[in-house]
Each structure stands twice: as structure tokens, then as C-alpha cells.
Amino acid sequence: MAGHSHFSPANVEEHFEFTSEGKKRVIYAFIAGVVALVLGIYLLSKGEAGGHEVANAGHEAVKAGHEAASEHLSGGAVSHQPAAEEHYDWTNRIWANVWLNAVFFTGIAIIGMFFVSLQYLTKSGWSSVMKRVPEAFPKFLYITLPILLLVFFFKGDAIFHWMHHGVTEVGNENYDKIIAGKSGYLNKTFFLVRLVGFFALWIGLWTVLRKKSLEEDLIGGTDLFTQLVRISTAFIVVFGASSSMFAWDWVMSIDTHWFSTMFGWYMFSSWHVTGLAVITLTILLLKDKGYMAYVNENHLHDLGKLMFAFSIFWTYVWFEQFLLIYYANMPEEIIYFLERWEGHNKIYKTSEILMVFLNFFFPFLVLMTRDAKRTRIFLKIAAFFIIVGHYIDFYQMIMPGVLGGHAGYGLVEFGMVTVFASAFIYIVSDELTKASLIAKNHPFLPEAVHHDI
């Protein structure tokens, strides 16, 4: 312990420099993403999307689902009309990708806020040394909000079955009794109110939290800490109350007929573990550049534990949702998994298996030992594949409902992820330069610096 006795808040301050070299690299990546995307779109328009698309997926796609689903058995709640089936437009694949990435990166951004709030709420000491990193993430909400809004306004009907023309209108040829029954919740106005409302609350609370947190660097004292705890509590309450709703809105309502009470917590668990992986990866990359010297292998060990534990938690939530639906085998529910397992000429089956492998077996085996959790390269590999795995998880949640048999992994997907990821890196790096990487007046900082497990 004696080795650390010279620790004092003054000598921990360090500023991240987003060098022009670094900026250039991120911008090149962005441009590469755009090029790939444009090329992908060009190929799509020619009908050659690349990837695993199966050309004649068309109408027989969810045959298995159709057979299992029969309306009189189930009180009429059978889903058998994925949005993509009729009037398929090749541009839908672009919008599906935009929506997928916007939701995925919104999650990463807001988990930054969730992580910091949770640390305040539980009065955790160890994490105070790294809290500036997740604290910078929510800045990206400013990017995803307009994207979500634009896609919703202009191409919402490409994504959401319930936005199709006439589905709630009695007598219309598209009329769908079940969807009409949900229109009290699923309608444009209410959807928008919720979307904007959640973002407003999140961004608002983050702005206050960030402001107070930066003030703490200047003033110190415990008053600001108490205020930060209050803001965090408010955020957790808001996030807890909204956690199920945004999952229903942005993802579950794509498969409009289908429903699962578990879905909100399932999507949250996916976001959460992805967020943890991104936090870990960011810290490791910063350390590689020589920053954050006070974050030692003990802190990394804890981050590793969190990724390990929440990968298992994700598995628990995913599996029990699956098991209950599989076991009861009710047509209106099981169709969701049939579609992903054997529907659409089985184009989703590989992803489904890969996803469970990457999100459970891989982190479970890689992060099991103590040494792995304390070794940077293992953590990097695990974090990277957790992020990839959960991207696939979101792909599985969104694509079958939007694109049906027309989905695939091609240049569009690759380009879109690259564009979003480089934008995310740019925005977060920029935000990181605005404050010391270590919150020097955090009252728990001495605990974190002496953290030893």
C-alpha cells in the first residue's frame, strides 16, 4: 500500500488528445464505409446483393410458420404476415440496416449513461477511476435521434408492419384485425411522443450529469457528489420505467403480431453487455495509447467479470424466453422462432447458431479464468466478439420481420456498420477531449486507485 501513498488528486489529471492523425484514420474508415455502402447499394439495385441472400426466397419463405399458424386455434393472434412478403422493394434493405445500426448504437450510447448512474447509485468505488469513458458515450444520442426520426418519418412503413397503409382501416384490403386492436398503442403520434420523450429525458439527464461531473473537477466537495447520486437515481428510474417500452416500440413491433412480455429485458440485456464490451474496449485502446495509467489489471479484471456475468445473464434471458415459447408451442408465439430457425429457406439459421456461440460459449470459455480477465489481449478479443455477437443478435431481431427472405450479409451491412462505428468513435473521442480522463475530485477515487482484488 505504501507505494501509492504519494497519490493526490492533483497529479492524476490527464487529457486525451484526439490527434489529427487519429482523426484522419477515423475519417478514412468512415469514407471506406461509405464507399462500401454505395457499392453495396449499387449491387442491390442490380439485384446482386452479395452475401447469403437466397434469390427465390419470396412467397414460400415462412411456409413452416404458415402451417403452424392457424387463426382459429389461438384466439386470432397469429402472426403470418411479415411486412416484407408483399410489395418488396430492394431499398428496404438499406432502411432496415439504418434502423438496425441506429438502435444498436443508441443502446451502446445510453448504456454509458446507465453504467455511470448505476455506479453512483450503488456507491461503487472501483469504477470511479474510469467513469469518464462511459460518461462520454451518450453524446452519440444526438446522432441517432435524428436518424431514427428520419427513418421513421420517411420509411417507417418499410420497417413496421403496423404502419402499412390501411392495416387498421375496416374494409381496406390490407385490414388486419389484430393490428387494429393494437392501434391504441401502435400509432404514429404516440410512437413519436414516446421516442422523442425517452430521448429528451435521457439526453436531458445526461447533460445535467455531465455538467455536474465536470464541475466536480473544478470545485470538489461532496455536495456535487450527492447531486450526482440524485441525478443517477432519477435516470435509473426513467430508464427502468422505459426499458420495456422502447424495446416494444423499436424492435418488437416490427413483428407486429408477435408479443413476449420478456422482450424488453431481453433487448436490454443485449444492449447492456454490448455497452460493457464497448467500455472495456475503449479503455483498453486508451491504455494502449498510454492514457489511464491508474486503471490497472484489477479494474480490468472487474470489467472482465462484468462482461462474463452479463453474457451469462443475456443467455439466461434469451434461453428462458425461447424455452417457454418452445415448450408451450403456441402458434402465435412459436412462429417467431420458426421464422428464424427454418423459415425463409433457413437463411437465418446460421446467424442464430453463431449468435448463441459468440454471445454465450465464447465469452464463457474465454473469460472464465482469472488470468484471462487480467490480460489485455484476451479482454480485447472477448469484447470485440461480444460486440459482433450482439450485432448479430440485433440483426436476428430486426431483419426477419423487415426483410423476410431478402436479408443477407453483404456490402450494405458491412458498410453501414463501418459508417456508424466510425461516427461513434469520432464523436466519443471528441467528447473525451473535453474533460480530464480521470475525475480527479471523485470522492471514491482514492478507493479506486488502491483497488486490489
Contacts with other proteins by CB under 8 A lie at: 1, 74-77, 122-123, 125-126, 177-178, 181-182, 185, 222, 225, 237, 240-241, 243-244, 248, 259-265, 305, 309, 312, 316-317, 319-330, 332, 368-370, 443-444, 446-447, 449-453
d(CA 231, CA 148): 26
Q: Which is nearer to other proteins, 39 or 229 (CB)?
A: 229
Coil/strand/helix, residue 450: coil
- What letters, b where the CB count within 10 A reaches 16 and e where it falls short, cover 412-421? bbbbbbbbbb
Q: Which amino acid is at 105?
A: F
Tell the smallest beta-carbon distance from residue 326 to other proteins (Å): 6
Dihedral (C-alpha) 216, 235, 316, 376: value to the nearest 10 degrees? -20
Q: Which is nearer to other proteins, 317 or 428 (CB)?
A: 317
Tell the smallest beta-carbon distance from residue 50 to other proteins (Å): 34
**288's grid cell:** 494502449
Tell the smallest beta-carbon distance from residue 242 to other proteins (Å): 10
Q: Which is nearer to other proteins, 425 or 438 (CB)?
A: 438
Q: Which amino acid is at 45?
A: S
Tell the smallest beta-carbon distance from residue 177 to other proteins (Å): 8
Q: Which is nearer to other proteins, 123 or 165 (CB)?
A: 123
Tell the smallest beta-carbon distance from residue 407 to other proteins (Å): 25
Element housing 406 (H / E):
none
Tell the smallest beta-carbon distance from residue 203 to other proteins (Å): 23
**249's grid cell:** 416500440
Q: Which is nearer to other proteins, 217 or 332 (CB)?
A: 332
Q: Which is nearer to other proteins, 325 or 355 (CB)?
A: 325
Q: Which is nearer to other proteins, 321 or 418 (CB)?
A: 321
The radius of gyration of the chain's CA atoms, rounded to the nearest angstrom, is 23
d(CA 167, CA 183): 10
Q: What are phi and psi of 46, to 5 degrees?
A: -85, -5
- Helices and strands in the chain, H and E counts: 17, 0
Tell the smallest beta-carbon distance from residue 195 to other proteins (Å): 18
Q: What are phi and psi of 68, to 5 degrees?
A: -70, -30
Residue with the three cell numbers 454465450: 360
